[in-house]
Amino acid sequence: MNIIVATTSHFKYAQIICDTIAESAKVRGTGIAKRTPDYIRKKLENGNAVIALDGDTFAGFCYIEVWGHEKYVANSGLIVHPNYRSMGLAKKIKATIFKLSREKFPEAKIFGITTGLPVMKINYELGYKPVTFSELTDDPEFWKGCQTCKNFDVLTRTDQKMCLCTGMLYDPATKPKEDKKVNSRAFKRLKSIKESLFLKKKVKRT
């Protein structure tokens, strides 16, 4: 498996990247910001993406977004092709894009929003901590990305204060905690509380 900084030579993978992201969102039944092949190609052009290839076969991807005049960056669009899941690939892709972000934008805070436990675990191990949305970028362009998510109405209803996603932030000025294991039980419980609150679903709490 090759995990590398992507370039224009990887343009041919833009479509499969978008398709895999869209299909996975459908299967999970969760919200996701939609990406177009053009958008992905821009990321490849700027050297702001990491791709995982098994020979010539697409295996995974993630890219950097820059917000608030480089005060913040986000590592977004993480996707591992279903054939390559549960082998630690997401962890490796995230570590590579995190390193690239630190090199290219050393002063920037790195953040993400996610509903996924795997992403939460990976981010936590990299030194991110859960934060309220008020600690993330207020760049309207970032929040516009949520418009294509099926839970966007929740974000609007709460005046952008909270949603089903959890915000996570790595602040280069703060020393990361020694204990870098996420509390999965607490996260699952928080998620189920949010779902029952915001989606008015009857959710069994474990």
Residue ranges that bind ligand COA, judged by CB under 6 A: 24, 78-80, 85-91, 114, 116-119, 121-122
- By C-beta, is 3 or 197 nearer to ligand COA? 3
- By C-beta, is 62 or 108 nearer to ligand COA? 62
Task: Please report how close the Cβ of residue 164 comes to ligand COA at its closest, in angstroms.
Answer: 11
Task: Please report how close the Cβ of residue 116 comes to ligand COA at its closest, in angstroms.
Answer: 5
Secondary structure (3-state) at 153: helix
- By C-beta, is 47 or 118 nearer to ligand COA? 118
Cβ(139)–Cβ(111) under 8 Å? no
Task: Please report how close the Cβ of residue 186 comes to ligand COA at its closest, in angstroms.
Answer: 14
Task: Please report how close the Cβ of residue 25 comes to ligand COA at its closest, in angstroms.
Answer: 7
